[in-house]
Amino acid sequence: MSTNYSLLFYLKKPKNYVNGAKPIYMRITIDGSVCEISTGKSCEPIRWNSKANRSKGNTEEVKTLNSYLEMLNLKVAALHLEILKMGEIPTIELLKSKITGKTESQRTLLSVLRDHNHKMESLLGNGFRENTLKGYRTTYSHLENYITKQFSTADIELHKIDHSFVVGYEYYLRSEKGCSDISAAKYMKHLRKIINLSLAHEWITSNPFKFYKTHAKPKEKSYLNRNELTRIESKKLNILRLQNVRDIFVFCCYTGLSYADVSKL
């Protein structure tokens, strides 16, 4: 698995900085995703070579600092290679966790979606409708089945979701589930919302939807003209239920109210 990986060292300007040494940070980039980590060292700006990403000079202090930075460079490169050898996706989040030594459990897609649905359920009638919740529950079921079928696991960590996961899920919806353009677009929209939620919480830093393009074509809407509406109004109906349905429909045409709004009256 090939990835675009780079690392550089730079001086980061502290807040309310006036003068003196600046902390040295390393900026790691993997396939466009970036993270910045402090090296714990500092350097005077006048002694920093921005092209070489090292301190200038021949003193023992400078040699020690540059040796330390080179050691960090080699360590991070080795960790990146280790991830590749293990067959894992070398995301910026995974590499950062290995560098910092943080071993907290990674958030997973279905756990985040499950929490989202629980919160939505508690807000039914207060911003959310039952049909909306039903749609997200169906999304959960589709994702659960897709993950099991494609990855032979019960769930997937957020940082492992990439562009191939997104396009693969859309293909699964269309081929395995037989979803129409509109249905597939709806379920993809649900997944995108969970990804955006994860980005907002900084559980992930790269967006797998960045290069995704929907295949759904805009649905052309047809409208009744005045004559057609008049014919519906004047149509004689012998069944009271149909009369009520017709009257409500005509009411919606004149007021612009949606079916969902009228159903609450």
For residue 28, being part of any structural domain is answered with yes
Confidence check: pLDDT of 105 > 70: no
Q: How many domains does the chain have?
A: 3
Same structural domain for residues 114 and 85? no
Rounded mean pLDDT, 102-107: 62
Q: What's the pLDDT tens digit per position in 30-82?
A: 988 889 999 999 999 999 999 999 999 999 999 999 999 999 999 999 999 98
Same structural domain for residues 113 and 90? no
What is the three-class DSSP state of 175?
Answer: helix
Identify which of 98-102, 146-150, 202-206 has the greatest average pLDDT.
Answer: 146-150
Same structural domain for residues 119 and 93? no
For residue 221, being part of any structural domain is answered with no
For residue 217, being part of any structural domain is answered with no
For residue 156, being part of any structural domain is answered with yes
Asked if 68 and 40 touch (Cβ cutoff 8 Å), the reply is no
Domain that holds residue 255: 226-262
Same structural domain for residues 16 and 50? yes
Same structural domain for residues 81 and 142? no
Same structural domain for residues 195 and 114? yes
Q: What's the pLDDT tens digit per position in 210-245?
A: 999 887 666 677 888 889 999 999 999 899 999 999
Same structural domain for residues 237 and 168? no
For residue 155, being part of any structural domain is answered with yes
Same structural domain for residues 130 and 194? yes
Query: What is the secondary structure of 114-159 as a DSSP string?
Result: HHHHHHHHHTBTTTB-HHHHHHHHHHHHHHHHHHHHHHSSS--BGG
Same structural domain for residues 113 and 86? no
Same structural domain for residues 194 and 159? yes
Q: What's the pLDDT tens digit per position in 174-190?
A: 999 999 988 999 999 99
For residue 29, being part of any structural domain is answered with yes
Using only C-alpha atoms, the chain has a radius of gyration, in whole angstroms, of: 28
Same structural domain for residues 84 and 125? no
